[in-house]
Amino acid sequence: ILGVSKGFDFFYFVQQWPGSYCDSDKSSCCYPTTGKPAADFSIHGLWPNYRNGSYPQNCDPNNPFNESETSDLISSMRRNWPSLSCPSSSGESFWSHEWEKHGTCSESLLDQHSYFQTALTLRQQTNVLQSLKSAGIIPDGGSYSLANIKDAIKNGTGYTPWIECNEDSSGNSQLNQVYLCVDSSGSNLIECPVFPKGKCGSEIEFPTF
C-alpha cells in the first residue's frame, strides 16, 4: 500500500489556437467582454487523466468554482485563459466549467488557487507560438506539415505534443489544440503516457487570428 490514491495519473495541459476556434464556426465565436484576445495560444484546461486513456470528471459537487479564491489571478486568467464561446463573457463560466469538470478531480493535490496558478505557470513555461515561429511556422493561413509542427514544439518544450485538429468553414484540417502532459503534481512536463485520439491531415492549416 503506497498511500492514499490521488485518483488520476497525469494531466493533459491543453492550449487552444483562437483562430481555429473562431474560423470553424464564426457564429459561435464571441470575443470576451474585455476585448479581442492576443493572437497567441491560450489555456483550454488542465485535465486529470488515467494512463489507460480514460479520465475522471465532475469529482466533487460540493466544491464549486469560487472566483474570490483566485481574485489575485483574474487579470492573468483574462489574458491567458479567455473564453471565446458565445455570448461574450469575461471568462467566469469557462473557468467554472473547467474547475468543476476537471479541477475537482485533482483537488486532493491542488486547491482552486493552486489549480489555476499551476495552469498559468505552465502557460508561461510553454511558449508554443514562439516554438513554432522559431521553426518558421506562423499563423498566416498557410499549410504546414504536422510532423514539422510536432518537431518544433518538441524542440521548444522538450516534449512531444499531441495536435488536435478541427476544420475551417471550407473543410480544411487545421491546428486547433496542443496537448502536453504534466505529472500529477502539476510541476513537471512529462512524455505523454497515452495520446488522445483523432485525425489531422499530414498538412494542416495554421489560421490567422
- Residues forming the site for ligand 5GP (CB under 6 A): 12, 16, 21, 44-45, 47, 49, 55, 83-85, 94, 97-98, 101, 146, 150, 162-163, 165, 196, 198-200, 202
Q: How far is the CB of 152 from ligand 5GP (least distance, A)?
A: 12
Residue 181 CA to residue 123 CA, distance in Å, equals 12
C-alpha cell recorded at residue 121: 505557470
CB 48 within 8 A of CB 83: no
Helices 112-125 and 92-101 meet at what angle, rounded to 10? 110
Q: Which of 67, 69, 97, 98 is catalytic?
A: 98
Q: How far apart (Å, rounded) are the C-alpha atoms in residues 201 and 205? A: 9
Q: Which amino acid is at 118?
A: T
Decide if 107 is catalytic.
Answer: no
Torsion of CA 134, 144, 152, 119, to 10 degrees: 100
| Residue closer to ligand 5GP, measured from CB, 1 or 56 | 56
User: Closest distance between ligand 5GP and the C-beta of residue 11, in Å?
Assistant: 8
User: Are the C-beta atoms of 118 and 184 separated by less than 8 Å?
Assistant: no
Report the residue number, 124 or 202, with the smaller CB distance to ligand 5GP: 202
Is 113 one of the catalytic residues? no
- Spot the catalytic one: 67, 92, 102, 191: 102
Query: Which of 163/180 has CB closer to ligand 5GP?
Result: 163
CB of 17 to ligand 5GP, least distance (A): 10
Nearer to ligand 5GP, 95 or 117 (CB): 95
Cβ-Cβ contacts under 8 Å for 65 (sequence gap 6 or more): 92, 95, 96, 99, 100, 112
Residue 98 annotated as catalytic:
yes
Residues noted as catalytic: 44, 98, 102
